[in-house]
């Protein structure tokens, strides 16, 4: 009985929590304080972990979604293709070992003409490329997460148009005897760098 009351109380508390927050935002707006909505990079990371590309949409970079899905589709295709070829040659090799070099596919002339040792080598080659495809798939998924998280941090980063670097070449009058051994007064080339943020 006490557990039911605790559950009901928790649900009521969770349901009234958004109302309490919206009232405080409304009160702040009446007082002239502008509520600042913060961008959360952890939310972008979580969204991209659940659905690749969702974190990029949350970061207002929806143009990256087709690139992400093209990369995922490409590595997915190669992973599936390498897996099916690996399994095909593995099954053929195991069948030949168990049945005294008889082929499992007598209608395929290329398979009949291929020696058992070559079938095993093909299996090994496709196994290695399958494993590499899995590693690349994990890397593409990780880059998706990394992109969402990093650009989630950079979402509020402000860049002004006033950032500039000016290089002004000048000629300074001076005594070159400080630089060289020639006595007298002369002109020294110089440059002024101005970096404005």
* β-pair partners for 195: 165
pLDDT of residue 121: 95
Report the pLDDT averaged over residues 23-28.
50
Q: Tell me how far apart the alpha carbons of residues 105 and 95 are, in angstroms, rounded to a whole number.
A: 10
Q: Hey, where are the domains in the chain?
A: 44-153, 164-196
Quickly state the pLDDT bin for 146 (edges 50, 70, 90).
very high
Residues 75-106 have pLDDT tens digits of: 999 999 999 999 999 999 999 999 888 888 88
Quickly state the pLDDT bin for 196 (edges 50, 70, 90).
confident
Residues 106-120 have pLDDT tens digits of: 888 888 888 889 999
DSSP secondary-structure letter at 184? S
How would you label 81-106 residue by residue, b for 16+ Cβ within 10 Å and e otherwise?
ebbebbebbbebbebbeeeeeebeee
Whether the per-residue pLDDT at 141 is higher than 90: the answer is yes
Residues 62-73 have pLDDT tens digits of: 999 999 999 999
Q: Tell me how far apart the alpha carbons of residues 22 and 123 are, in angstroms, rounded to a whole number.
A: 62
pLDDT of residue 23: 44
Q: Which residue has the higher pLDDT, 71 or 188?
A: 71
Q: How many CB atoms lie within 10 A of CB 30?
A: 8
pLDDT of residue 156: 80
Mean pLDDT, rounded, of the chain:
80
Q: What is the DSSP string of 118-135?
A: HHHHHHHHHHHHHHHHHH
Of residues 45, 46, 52, 54, the one with CA closest to residue 69: 52
pTM surpassing 0.85?
A: no
Quickly state the pLDDT bin for 154 (edges 50, 70, 90).
confident
pLDDT of residue 18: 43
């Amino acid at each position: 009985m006490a557990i039911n009351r605790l559950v009901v109380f928790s649900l009521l508390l969770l349901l009234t929590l958004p109302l309490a927050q919206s009232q405080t935002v409304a009160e702040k707006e009446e007082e002239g304080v502008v509520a600042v909505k913060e961008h959360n990079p952890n939310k972008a990371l979580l969204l991209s972990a659940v659905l690749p590309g969702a974190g990029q949409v949350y970061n207002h970079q929806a143009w990256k979604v087709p690139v992400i899905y093209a990369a995922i589709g490409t590595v997915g295709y190669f992973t599936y293709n390498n897996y099916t070829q690996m399994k095909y040659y593995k099954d053929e090799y195991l069948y030949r070992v168990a049945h005294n070099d008889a082929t499992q596919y007598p209608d395929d002339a290329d398979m009949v003409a291929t020696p058992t040792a070559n079938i095993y080598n093909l299996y090994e080659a496709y196994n290695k490329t399958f494993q590499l495809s899995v590693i690349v798939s994990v890397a593409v998924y990780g880059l998706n997460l990394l992109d969402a998280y990093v650009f989630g941090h950079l979402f509020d980063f402000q860049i002004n148009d006033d950032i500039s670097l000016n290089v002004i070449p000048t000629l300074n009058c001076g005594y070159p005897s400080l630089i060289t051994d020639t006595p007298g007064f002369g002109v020294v080339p110089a440059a002024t760098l101005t970096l404005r943020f």
